[in-house]
């Protein structure tokens, strides 16, 4: 892709005048204006200081046949009812900088609209007395319409020439008329300083990256990621909302229905569904290609969207119910839900046999323990959908999976909970082991389990070793059992508590420990408080479990 266009300096006040005339507009996919009074005060203060306020990203497009549907900046119709963007051949769409532009327009033109968390419109004042003293942070004041006392206070200051409303500043003629009329008591030095403050705002330049109408949607997506952003970031989903809006496909409403009706949690992003829609057509899912892949007629898109929703729901259920990721934070790779959804859709459509689902399980766990989805996710997703899909349909096993060996797996057991292998092992303890309660020997609702060390904290602290970090010394323990463990002084003492609760039946206790991948040899080491011996034995057991589910040879 070509280099991102360079930013050019543009006068900020001229930019706001273009907002007033609907020459600068906002794409429909942009969210509403959400800045608060404090946000606006901070931005205006930055202008007075002359600080860098971030780059603005614009897209020039036809006013009658735009790349994305658009609307006027919030409040424009209130202060300029006759405004008509059709008066312009082209308009500038604000892709990045909407909150900053809208906040300055709000302060300068005073539309009769409320701010976020407010009940009455705010009016913004520039206190020259404070500014002349160098107290810039105190010079900008926003006052709510319901605050009658402060409003009266600043009306008085304005009459005395000690302050002005920011609305006076957008018109240079009116400001200079105010500056030189009825101000005979001012010394010329004071007048010059006030004029200097005004000119700092009136001449304020900002860097604007303006994209031409010929810029492709794919390039727009990539440029988003290479431009410094201030405010609310945009996503591929935001662009898709705008693109499909023209076809009367209300994507944001569709997503809202999905998240409400299907119990989908935060682990599933709306972009995931768009990628499934593309993959169902056999198309690429890179950001540069995705918008074109979903640019479909309503009947076609809606059919694929419904298939994607059904498949994503099934995939998340597979992860949580079959693969042991009992809560969103325990999913090894959330992005794995995308190819998994495609495979489940195809297997269901083809009435697949158990052998095919076994292949699917092998692929899933291989991805988790080989750290396959740590990088280049879009590329690997597309590759797996093609190659694993063919394998499930009776073709050859993918080469990377065929050549996978135990040496290729990520068994860095000192990794944090954020790693796929760490989560994968905990998932296996739930779905393969059973994660029985260490005291009662009964199955426990996974939602009641916590990731905890097998050793009492006092013992770990006394040993001076960092045993608490490695997953080889950790498992899933209920809150009640963890309290008993915490009261013990040594691992063997806690183990004796577990044995007592099992009625002194060592075989029953060993069965419970087995559900946590703790072998007899590991148990014997633990009885002697031989932590190094325990770690070595548990490492061996976990590797054997993973090797078995992946059907790997030595």
Q: What is the pLDDT of residue 224?
A: 60
Neighbouring CB atoms inside 10 A of 468's CB total 14
The larger pLDDT score, comparing residue 159 to residue 352, is at 159
pLDDT in tens, 4-31: 577 899 999 999 999 999 999 998 877 7
Would you say residue 465 has pLDDT above 70? no
Q: What is the pLDDT of residue 461?
A: 67
Q: What is the pLDDT of residue 413?
A: 63
Percent residues over pLDDT 90 in the chain? 57
Structure tokens at 181: 């009329």
Would you say residue 231 has pLDDT above 60? no
Q: Is the pTM of this model over 0.75?
A: no
Residues present in the chain in total: 554
pLDDT in tens, 337-348: 999 999 999 999
Q: What is the pLDDT of residue 511?
A: 96
Burial 9-46 (b: 16+ CB within 10 A, else e): ebebbebbbbbbbbbbbbbbbbeebebebebbbebbeb
Mean pLDDT over each residue of the chain, to the nearest integer: 88
Q: What is the pLDDT of residue 4?
A: 56
Would you say residue 3 has pLDDT above 60? no
Q: What is the pLDDT of residue 229?
A: 45
pLDDT in tens, 232-241: 455 788 778 8
Would you say residue 227 has pLDDT above 60? no
- 60-74, 272-286, 446-460 — which is least confidently predicted? 446-460
Distance (Å, rounded) from C-alpha 355 to C-alpha 98? Answer: 53
pLDDT in tens, 295-334: 999 999 999 999 999 999 999 999 999 999 988 889 999 9
Would you say residue 369 has pLDDT above 80? yes
Distance (Å, rounded) from C-alpha 500 to C-alpha 489? Answer: 16
């Amino acid at each position: 892709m070509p280099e991102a266009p360079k930013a050019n300096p543009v006068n900020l006040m001229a930019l706001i005048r273009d907002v007033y005339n609907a020459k600068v507009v906002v794409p429909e996919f942009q969210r509403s204006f959400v800045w608060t009074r404090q946000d606006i005060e901070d931005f205006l203060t930055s202008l007075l200081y002359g600080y860098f306020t971030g780059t603005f990203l614009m897209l020039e497009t036809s006013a009658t046949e735009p790349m994305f549907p658009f609307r006027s900046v919030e409040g424009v119709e209130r202060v300029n009812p006759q405004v008509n963007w059709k008066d312009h051949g082209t308009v500038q769409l604000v892709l990045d900088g909407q909150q900053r532009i809208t906040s300055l327009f709000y302060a300068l033109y005073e539309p009769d609209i409320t701010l976020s968390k407010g009940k009455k419109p705010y009016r913004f004042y520039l206190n020259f007395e404070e500014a002349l003293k160098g107290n810039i942070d105190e010079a900008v004041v926003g006052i709510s319409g319901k605050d009658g006392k402060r409003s009266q206070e600043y009306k008085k200051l304005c009459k005395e020439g000690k302050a002005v409303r920011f609305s006076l500043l957008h018109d240079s003629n009116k400001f200079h008329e105010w500056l030189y009329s009825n101000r005979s008591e001012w010394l010329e030095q004071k007048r010059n300083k006030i004029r200097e403050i005004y000119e700092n705002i009136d001449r304020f330049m900002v860097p604007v990256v303006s994209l031409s109408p010929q810029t492709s949607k794919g390039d727009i997506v990539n440029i988003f990621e290479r431009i410094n952003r201030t405010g609310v970031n945009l996503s591929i989903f935001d662009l898709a909302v705008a693109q499909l809006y023209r076809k009367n496909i209300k994507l944001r409403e569709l997503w809202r229905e999905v998240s409400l009706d299907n119990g989908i949690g935060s682990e599933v992003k709306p972009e995931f569904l768009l990628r499934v829609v593309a993959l169902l057509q056999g198309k690429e899912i890179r950001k540069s290609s995705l918008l074109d892949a979903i640019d479909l007629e309503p009947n076609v898109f809606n059919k694929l969207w419904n298939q994607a929703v059904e498949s994503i729901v099934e995939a998340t259920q597979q992860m949580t119910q079959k693969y042991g990721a009992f809560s969103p934070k325990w999913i090894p790779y959330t992005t794995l839900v995308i190819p998994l959804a495609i495979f489940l859709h195809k297997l269901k459509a083809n009435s697949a046999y158990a052998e095919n689902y076994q292949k699917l399980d092998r692929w899933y766990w291989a991805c988790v323990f080989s750290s396959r989805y740590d990088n280049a996710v879009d590329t690997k997703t597309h590759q797996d959908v093609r190659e694993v899909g063919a394998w499930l349909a009776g073709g050859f096993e993918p080469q990377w999976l065929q050549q996978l060996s135990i040496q290729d797996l990520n068994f860095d057991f000192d990794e944090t909970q954020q790693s796929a292998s760490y989560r994968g092992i905990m998932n296996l303890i739930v779905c393969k082991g059973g994660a029985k309660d260490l005291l009662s020997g009964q199955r426990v609702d996974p939602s009641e389990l916590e990731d905890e060390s097998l050793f009492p904290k006092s013992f770990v602290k006394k040993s001076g070793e960092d045993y608490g970090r490695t997953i080889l010394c950790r498992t899933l323990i209920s809150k009640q059992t963890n309290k008993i463990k915490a009261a013990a002084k040594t691992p063997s003492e806690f183990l004796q508590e577990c044995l007592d609760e099992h009625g002194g039946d060592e075989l029953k206790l060993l069965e419970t420990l087995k559900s946590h991948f703790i072998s007899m040899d590991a148990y014997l080491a633990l009885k002697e408080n031989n932590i190094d011996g325990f770690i070595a034995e548990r490492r061996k057991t976990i590797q054997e479990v993973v090797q078995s589910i992946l059907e790997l040879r030595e």
